[in-house]
């Protein structure tokens, strides 16, 4: 079946450090891939997405590239800020009536 | 900006009480969802709807029920709350083709 595996947290970094949160997926066909972010006390927000192989999604300095050969969609940011502290969810969807499948989430702490 | 609302944001209630968690969206989305989020953050889909008068159970068994009488409204009801129902409940909506938008969540504590 379809599934998403992301690195376990928490991840703790100092401000301005480089961030990578790993995400790999298992799916039939050609799913769309997403990163959602959940700030404290809030619901999830779509951070970025990619709908086909080699696409790069980007938003707020975050990037992720859809790698079909490695079935990965790793989230990266060159210089994190304290305000990036949140929980990040990798997800996939095959579209149509298929539901979104979420990873278990990775909590990120950024220290000033 | 997504317009999806949940009320109440926080609820503390005693065991055995009936509760209804409200979810409304003003985007005209056909699809709506309820997720339960445990303290470890993982999301579990408990109900979804693809349109008026359509409701389905999700991947996680839940004692709650839902209704979809109007497109914009997707309330979740617990007939008799128990401490095991303590959790955060997230509502979401999406068009037939497109991204999911989430509400701010309801944090429920059953004593």
Residue A96 per-residue DSSP state: T
What kind and span of H or E run contains A33?
A: strand A32-38
A40 interfacial to chain B (CB closer than 8 Å): no
**Parallel, antiparallel, or unpaired: how do β-strands B10-13 and B106-110 relate?**
parallel
Contact B92 A44 (CB under 8 A): yes
Contact B42 A100 (CB under 8 A): no
Q: What is the mean pLDDT of chain B?
A: 93
**Mean pLDDT within B1-19:** 92
**Mean pLDDT within B16-45:** 94
Q: What is the mean pLDDT of chain A?
A: 94
pLDDT at B91: 97
Contact B48 A99 (CB under 8 A): yes
pLDDT at B107: 96
Residues in chain A closer than 8 A to B40 (CB atoms): 104
pLDDT at B62 over 60: yes
- Nearest Cα of chain B lies from the Cα of A15 at a distance, in angstroms, of 24
Contact B102 A45 (CB under 8 A): yes
CB atoms near residue B56 (< 10 Å): 11
- Kindly report, residue by residue over A22-52, the tens digit of the pLDDT: 999 999 888 999 999 999 989 999 999 999 9
User: Mean pLDDT per 10-residue run, chain A (112 residues)?
Assistant: 91 97 92 95 94 95 96 97 97 82 95 96
């Amino acid at each position: 079946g379809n599934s998403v595996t992301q690195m376990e947290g928490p991840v703790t970094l100092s401000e301005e450090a480089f961030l990578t949160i790993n995400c790999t997926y298992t799916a039939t066909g050609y799913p769309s891939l997403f990163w959602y972010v959940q700030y404290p006390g809030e619901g999830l927000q779509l951070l970025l997405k990619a709908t086909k192989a080699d696409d790069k999604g980007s938003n707020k300095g975050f990037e992720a590239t859809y790698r079909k050969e490695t079935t990965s969609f790793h989230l990266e940011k060159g210089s994190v800020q304290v305000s990036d502290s949140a929980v990040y969810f990798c997800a996939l969807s095959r579209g149509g009536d298929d539901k979104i499948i979420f990873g278990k989430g990775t909590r990120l702490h950024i220290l000033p | 900006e997504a317009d999806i609302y949940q009320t109440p944001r926080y609820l503390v209630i005693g065991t055995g009480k009936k509760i209804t968690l409200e979810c409304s969206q003003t985007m005209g989305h056909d699809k709506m969802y309820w997720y339960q989020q445990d303290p470890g953050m993982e999301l579990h889909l408990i109900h979804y709807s693809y349109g008026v008068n359509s409701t389905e159970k999700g991947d996680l068994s839940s004692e709650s029920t839902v209704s979809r009488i109007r497109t914009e409204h997707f309330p979740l009801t617990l007939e008799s709350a128990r401490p095991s129902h303590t959790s955060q409940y997230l509502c979401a909506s999406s068009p037939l083709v497109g991204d999911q938008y989430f509400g701010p969540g309801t944090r429920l504590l059953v004593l």
